Structure 1
Amino acid sequence: MTPADLSLTVQHAVRRAVDEGALRVTVPARVVVERARPGGCGDYASNVALALAREAGCSPREVGLAIIERLQGNPEISRVDITGPGFLNFTLSSDTQQELVSGILRLGVDYGRRPPTGDLAQPVHRADVRAAVTADAIRRILLFQGTLLRVACEDAADPDWAQLGVRIEAQHARGRLVTDIAPLPVPYTASELLLRFGRDAARWGLLSAAAHDHARLGDELLHQHEGNPLFRVRYAHSRTRALLRNAEQLGFRSEPQQAVDAPALTALLRDHPAVLASAARLRAPDRVARHLEATADALLAFQHTVLPLGDEKPSAAHRSRLALAEAAGTVLAGGLALLGISAPDQI
């Protein structure tokens, strides 16, 4: 169960409580689910009971108990606790890692995609290269999250932006709409960035820092080594493809048959839909970049355990580890695509 799945499950429980007369509230359009914080317990937590208590005319604990009652019997949720002033803390069932991996492999790069919401956005970006690339990444992420949109530039667009993958939909929006995409600018033109870094590295350098921070356009982007975060992400993806090729030569394929001892990597894969939802809501593609870096580092630390060693025969454990690695590679490829960056199979 992913955070997005858990969010929908809790939302449905609230709706059931309302339909059955246990709560008199407006069913929220979205239930926020986050990793459990210090002081909490379990895998995830939500403030939904706190948020609904005033409207319900009862305590957060009473709201929480009404929700918990309608979550009972869900095989993917092991237990739900109420902590602090009324936070719901969810512990997922221990067998959900296999379900998570199977779901990612089934959905491929569509893992984390949301159906159309009916929402419409009209973001406007400042007329400089960093704002244009940021707006393009936001467009990709919002579309992936089910939002219809039309991106506009406040002034005339630079034709060279197209070589960085930017799609120009409207220009000269100054005065008609509020400019809301305006990260710190960079002292380079699109053609200068392309000449120095190429498209992929230039986009990563422009997108991987938060809008209020300076873009990461240092010399590390020019080198194929671990000090280059883009290289680590793309190398980690290419390692998953190499592992699949090597496993095929050894006569086995990926299959999530049993749980794998890789909690950090598993948690990052499970968080991917929530990261995308957060990046869309906050219009912050840098969140996707940071998540990809963390996923790549966890995968590179894990990938040495995947293939059999010496005379060891492939087992269910190897097939399950390979499946987890393949799922991680899928998440890396999908995340890079949302940033407009390629994910080569070999580096």
Structure 2
Amino acid sequence: MTPAELSQAVLSAVRSAVADGELVVPVPEQATVERPKSREHGDYATNIALRLAKAAKMPPRAVAEVLAGRLAQAPGVARVDVAGPGFLNVVLDTAAQGDLARQIVEAGREYGRGDAAKGLRINLEFVSANPTGPIHIGGVRWAAVGDSLARILRAAGADVTTEYYINDYGVQIDKFAATLQAVANGRPVPEDGYRGAYVDEIAKTIVEGNPDVLGLAEDEQRAVFRREGLRLMTAEIQRSMEEFGTHFDVWFSERSLHESGAVERAIQRLREQGHVFERDGAIWLRTTDFGDDKDRVLVKADGDTTYFASDAAYYLDKRDRGNETCVYMLGADHHGYVGRLKAIVACAGDDPEHNIEVLIGQFVKMLKDGTEVRMSKRAGNIITIDDVVDWIGVDAARYALARSSTDSTLTLDIDVLTSQKNDNPVFYVQYAHTRMCGVQRNAADLGIDKGSAGDFRPELLTHPRENELLGSLAEFPRVVATAAELREPHRVARYLEDLAGRYHRFYDACRILPFGDDEVTDLNRARLWLAEATRTVLANGLELLGVSAPERM
């Protein structure tokens, strides 16, 4: 029996009590059931009686007493106890709990997926680094977290579009073009230009592909270096993202907003909403009406539009494409953007508490031999995504970056993440998966099959370690739904580490395959079902994080 099935049994008990007139309450849409911290309190506990007590005008324990007898009659429930102020502690019969292994194996890749976010159309924008250099370590964190979040939201039923916003318009792009032009002509890099071996590589590639470029007039040269530099750098970023396992459905050009007239149309729409005004020759958006610390300039007195105008046009474009909620994943140095982005939403007539979410991620640093690594051979004073992959690999990088809350600064130890030891979290989880695959191979070599679902005897899974493992497997759908709701992929990673630990303890305590020439028993087969169910959940969880589930290590 899964927590979802038990939740429905709880609601059925409430409906029955209401129908018999023992409770006069509205039947809730959901009933929360959770694994208690202590096994002495049963397999699951629910606070439904405490929730209904006020509406029922009865003490919570009295409500619990009404529900306990009905819930105890549900198939698969062995006993229901009333505890504390009115909790219902539920003990499942062994067969009902063990049958979860069969359900998981038969569900396969679908186990853990649900509809908690069904109907939501979410635009998830992340990384979006300027195409003026390789993706740095902060962007790598968002590449791992953002892609994992997209997978988790989809598993929860949401319709998700992942998007990379290419900042290919404005001052930084002009500086990038000027840098490439200077390098190609053998001149010093401008004081505010870009540095690193990658700049030399791009400039050289542009000249090789455009042999006549250095003979053009300065302005014409600059245009070529701007166009080709952006193309090459964007292609480089796209390559890095794909090799990191991060896919974007949309690569959106900021320049396209200006060339299509979308910026001007956005300003006009905001004007029609009554929030645009003019002062000192500039055009402003009155964002202070909606909590921003100051009003924002859309068009400067010299006629140039601002980045803020692009941000406004970009948000409106996302909404016009049918996205209900626009999620922005920004770096630690973008805290100031939260208020202004929410103000844009409000000025556009939308709900800033529903139509936009801004997630802020903290900094990342890397250690080698106990010392912080600060430099990249190719990019100069930044660590790039390719550096991270070269040092620790895609799996270790993705897992390590996704397993911690983005609210906290993260330190990655290269020595730990390249070791095959249990203090390396990705190794610990992947090794548990390979261990299960090894059991399957050994069983096949011995000619042992777990048998059909009809032959499976879940009531034999009575060992405390089996019960512990089954309880953890039952939690996976709830963990996925919660990670999607809270936008916290690290919950899946931490769950997998806990599950791996429970499997290792089960493996050490419960013999899965018979010794030597011992007869194969139904208990051996039941444990093979349980091992396969655990392997399935580990593989499903790793997939949500974009990490491989190897069969051998």
TM-score (norm 2): 0.57
For 1:316, which of 522, 530, 539 is the aligned residue?
Answer: 522
Displacement of 1:78 in angstroms is 1.3
Tell me how many residue pairs correspond in the alignment. Answer: 347
8 Å CA contact 2:461, 2:526 repeated in 1: yes
* Residue 284 (structure 1) aligns with: 488
Bigger share in strand = 2
Moved more, 324-333 or 120-129: 120-129
Counterpart CA distance in 2 for 1:299 and 1:39 is 17
* Residue 163 (structure 1) aligns with: 243
Counterpart CA distance in 2 for 1:155 and 1:11 is 49
8 Å CA contact 1:225, 1:232 repeated in 2: yes
Correspondence 1:132-151 to 2 at 5 A: 132-151=143-162
8 Å CA contact 1:229, 1:293 repeated in 2: yes
Counterpart CA distance in 2 for 1:118 and 1:27 is 22
| Greater gyration radius | 2
Is the alpha carbon distance of 1:117 and 1:285 closer, same or farther for their aligned partners in structure 2, counting shifts above 3 Å? closer
* Residue 89 (structure 1) aligns with: 89
SS of structure 2 residue aligned to 1:6: helix
Displacement of 1:117 in angstroms is 5.6
8 Å CA contact 1:135, 1:181 repeated in 2: no
Moved more, 210-219 or 120-129: 120-129
Correspondence 1:188-199 to 2 at 5 A: 188-199=383-394
* Residue 201 (structure 1) aligns with: 396
* Residue 204 (structure 2) aligns with: none
Is residue 2:502 matched to residue 1:298?
yes
For 1:180, which of 355, 358, 364 is the aligned residue?
Answer: 358
Is residue 2:536 matched to residue 1:341?
no
Displacement of 1:142 in angstroms is 2.2
Is the alpha carbon distance of 1:31 and 1:52 closer, same or farther for their aligned partners in structure 2, counting shifts above 3 Å? same
Counterpart CA distance in 1 for 2:152 and 2:19 is 34
Amino acid across the alignment from 1:328: T
Q: Deviations over 1:261-313 (max 9, x none)?
A: 22332322222222223222322221211121122222233335222223323
For 1:227, which of 396, 407, 423 is the aligned residue?
Answer: 423
* Residue 328 (structure 1) aligns with: 534
* Residue 60 (structure 1) aligns with: 60
Counterpart CA distance in 1 for 2:488 and 2:397 is 17
8 Å CA contact 2:124, 2:150 repeated in 1: no
Displacement of 1:203 in angstroms is 0.8
8 Å CA contact 1:131, 1:182 repeated in 2: no
Q: What runs of 5+ residues in structure 2 fail to find an aligned partner?
A: 128-138, 168-233, 253-313, 316-327, 329-340, 346-354, 366-382
Displacement of 1:39 in angstroms is 10
Displacement of 1:228 in angstroms is 1.6
SS of structure 1 residue aligned to 2:78: strand
8 Å CA contact 2:364, 2:411 repeated in 1: no
SS of structure 2 residue aligned to 1:182: strand
8 Å CA contact 1:237, 1:332 repeated in 2: yes
Is residue 2:447 matched to residue 1:251?
yes
SS of structure 2 residue aligned to 1:71: helix
For 1:236, which of 414, 432, 436 is the aligned residue?
Answer: 432
* Residue 336 (structure 2) aligns with: none
Moved more, 166-175 or 66-75: 166-175
8 Å CA contact 2:432, 2:500 repeated in 1: yes
Counterpart CA distance in 2 for 1:37 and 1:303 is 22
Displacement of 1:330 in angstroms is 1.0
Is residue 2:403 matched to residue 1:212?
no
Counterpart CA distance in 2 for 1:243 and 1:281 is 36
SS of structure 2 residue aligned to 1:180: strand
8 Å CA contact 1:133, 1:207 repeated in 2: yes
Q: Deviations over 1:186-226 (max 9, x none)?
A: 25443332232222211101111122233352222212233
Counterpart CA distance in 1 for 2:58 and 2:166 is 52
Is residue 2:29 matched to residue 1:29?
yes
Is the alpha carbon distance of 1:232 and 1:146 closer, same or farther for their aligned partners in structure 2, counting shifts above 3 Å? same
Q: What runs of 5+ residues in structure 1 fail to find an aligned partner?
A: none
SS of structure 2 residue aligned to 1:254: coil
8 Å CA contact 1:125, 1:180 repeated in 2: no
Q: Deviations over 1:132-190 (max 9, x none)?
A: 42232122222212233445567759533343233334665573564433232325443
SS of structure 1 residue aligned to 2:532: helix
Amino acid across the alignment from 1:309: F
Amino acid across the alignment from 1:252: I
SS of structure 1 residue aligned to 2:412: coil
Counterpart CA distance in 2 for 1:310 and 1:47 is 49
8 Å CA contact 2:68, 2:82 repeated in 1: no
Counterpart CA distance in 1 for 2:512 and 2:551 is 18
8 Å CA contact 2:124, 2:160 repeated in 1: no
Amino acid across the alignment from 1:209: S
* Residue 131 (structure 1) aligns with: 142
Counterpart CA distance in 1 for 2:48 and 2:385 is 45
Is the alpha carbon distance of 1:42 and 1:302 closer, same or farther for their aligned partners in structure 2, counting shifts above 3 Å? closer
* Residue 111 (structure 2) aligns with: 111
* Fraction of identical pairs, as percent: 37
Is the alpha carbon distance of 1:39 and 1:316 closer, same or farther for their aligned partners in structure 2, counting shifts above 3 Å? closer
